Structure 1
Amino acid sequence: MPRIVQLLASPVHRYVGRPADGPAPAPPGELVDQVRLRGIVGDRYFGKAAHREASVTVIAQESLPPGVDLAQVRRNVLTTGIAVDELVGSVLTLDSGDGPVSLRVHRPARPCAWLDVSVGPGTWKALRGRGGIRCSPVNDGILRVGPVEVRVGG
């Protein structure tokens, strides 16, 4: 059964400067049980013109090393049971109980060198081609942690 494992809405950008400098501290409360979408309300990229086609990022738990969470990889939605990296160019619809939320999948979310600092050496290279997807919401709605119904369309 597909699930939403974690949701992240971070009001600040933690990876500033060089990876050798280390990330800024995580703000409290960025891992949440639900998010309202039109972008991720409360997230640092919400309503920013430069990020409209990438305002929601989704990654599969199956791509991550055991014990790694969204605070480390800086994606918004962590799923299991959904091959998200294969969905570029499609519309992913998720319904976690409050009605369907559709996301247009624009492009891969490529990993960056920060992952070698936030997760561990070798993570950047290991996640190439498995770093998740960058999406824009097609409609408003709410996503919650837990079981999710999934539809994929064109």
Structure 2
Amino acid sequence: MDHPPVVSAIHLAKATRLPMQPKDEVEVEAGRGIVGDRYHGTRHRHVTVQSRETLDEAAAVYGRPVPSELTRRNLTISHGVVPRDPGTRIRVGEVLLEVVRVAAPCKLLDDTIGAGAQEALRRRAGTVFRVLEGGRIRVGDSVDLVLSPPAPRPA
């Protein structure tokens, strides 16, 4: 695809086991995460990002659709590979994010999607980011997956 990826879905949950709620737009705070989400204010797990393209690959392995909202990730982008290397940065709308780690698929997926979903999503479950620069993220915002790495700080 020639065009850059866009935010295709935004989901949050107010508490750990509550269902994810779709949003058209969210406020994201630097160093804190998405306002109103269960992980807002945690140390590093501010925003989770997954790719619809990767979910479709998981669905092919799983043999059934994998709905974005049932994976418990905050942002779903239209296509492309979400970076997984710690320290890598991406920009989503106004917001600058930095990779913390790969998001491991949780056991809850077998309950919400069906038996075998957790295994199908292994290595396809998205990435956990910390927020370096806050702002608003809206469905349809463009996503820059290839930002140049940060300049080294002078010693």
Specify the alignment match of 1:111 in structure 2: 105
Specify the alignment match of 1:135 in structure 2: 129
Specify the alignment match of 1:21 in structure 2: none
The runs of at least 4 aligned residues of structure 1 exceeding 3 Å deviation read 85-88
> Offset of 1:85 from its aligned partner?
4.4
2:40 matched to 1:46?
yes
Q: Distance in 1 between matches of 2:15 and 2:77?
A: 22
Secondary structure in 2 matching 1:125: helix
Secondary structure in 2 matching 1:111: coil
Secondary structure in 1 matching 2:122: coil
CA deviation string 1:62-85 (max 9, x = no partner): 222335122x11110011223104
Q: Distance in 2 between matches of 1:119 and 1:153?
A: 36
Count of residues in correspondence between the two structures: 134
Give ranges in structure 2 of 5+ residues lacking alignment.
Answer: 60-64, 150-155
TM-score (norm 2): 0.78
TM-score (norm 1): 0.78
CA deviation string 1:38-68 (max 9, x = no partner): 10100111113xxx21111001112223351
Question: Does the 8 Å contact 1:85/1:130 carry over to 2?
Answer: no
- Describe how 1:49-68 pairs up with structure 2 within 5 A: 52-64=43-55, 65=59, 66=65, 68=67
- Describe how 1:1-154 pairs up with structure 2 within 5 A: 1=3, 2-14=5-17, 26=19, 30-38=21-29, 39-48=33-42, 52-64=43-55, 65=59, 66=65, 68-70=67-69, 72-95=70-93, 100-150=94-144, 151-154=146-149
Q: Distance in 2 between matches of 1:124 and 1:67?
A: 11
